[in-house]
Structure 1
C-alpha cells in the first residue's frame, strides 16, 4: 500500500509520521548530496547473520557528538564529528521539530543493488518512544514499513530533498527497510537523525 503523501501528521496503529516531499529545493539537495559524498568517511560494514559474516550492501557512516557512542549488533560505534553540511540540515529540521538531535546514521545507496535489511530504530540509548528524522538526498528510494503484529504495511517513496519524521510507539511496533530496486537507480544518501540519551 502506498502511504498517504501529506504534509501533516498521519496516525497509524502504534505511532504516527510526517512526510514532507520537498523539504529542500532541488538546488539545495544537489549541493548537500555533493558535499556529503565528499566530506564523509564512508565504510562498508559487515555483520554476522545466522552464524555467517555478511558484507552490508551499502556504504555507511555515523556522525554526532563524539562523546555519544551507539551500540548496534553487540558492537559499540564511535561517531565522526558533525560536518558543516549535517549541521545545516540539522538546523533546518529544527524549524519543524524541536529536538536537539545528537546522532546521525548515514547510508549511501550507490545503485539499485544497495539496500538495508528489515530493522527498527528503537535501541535503549534512544529512549522509550524515540522521534527520528530521515532525510533523503539523491535518487528516490522506497522506504517500506511492516507492523510486527501483522497489523498492516505501507511504503513511502522518499524523493530527493524529502524528510520523514516518525514518533510515538512506531519504532517499537514497525520495522522498515530500503529494498533493492528492479529498476536502475542512481546514488542517494539517506540520513537518520536520532537523539541518544
Structure 2
C-alpha cells in the first residue's frame, strides 16, 4: 500500500522561483556570465553609432545650436571678473591693509632707528631699530586695518542698498570711513581723511575693478 502526500509550502515556493527565473531568463543579457569565463561579456559592436555631438563639450566638439563657447559650472565663470562678496572683501582688504601697514611702518622705523642711533654701539643700534620698527609698524598696521575694515563695510552697505556698483559707492564709502575714523579729532582732520579715502576708493579700488590698470590687477582686487 502506498500513500501520496500533498505538496508542502517549500515545494510551492521552489516551484514559483523556478517559474519566475524561467520567465525572465531571455538569454540576451550582456552582463550574463558563462561557465567558461567568469568576467561579464559586453557588446562593443555598435560604438560607431555614438554621436560625439551629444557629449560635447567634453570632447572639444560643440553641438550646433549651443554656440561655440564652452559651458561653465558656476555662474561667475561666465565673466572674466567676479566681484568679491562682502565677507571676502572684509577679510581680504583688512588683512592686506594690515600687512601693508606693518611692512611700511616697519621700514620707516628701520630708517628712523638707523638715523637716531648713529655713532652708538652695535647693541644699542639694534635695540633702537627694533623699538622704532615695532612702534611705527604696529601703529600704521592698526590704522590701515581699521580703515580697510570701515571702508569695506560701508562699500558693501552702499552696494546693497543702492543696488548698483557705481563710482559713488566707493566715494561715499571712503568719505564715511574717514569721518568715522577721525570723528573725535575735529572737523579738519576728519575732512582730510574723508577726502583722501574717497579719492583712494575711486582712483584706486574702483578704477582697478573696472580694468583700467589691467586684467591681472582687476582679478586681484
TM-score by length of 2: 0.19
Q: Whose strand proportion is higher, 1 or 2?
A: 1
Higher gyration radius (CA): 2
Higher helix share: 2
Structure number with greater CO (CA < 8 Å, separation at least 6) is: 1
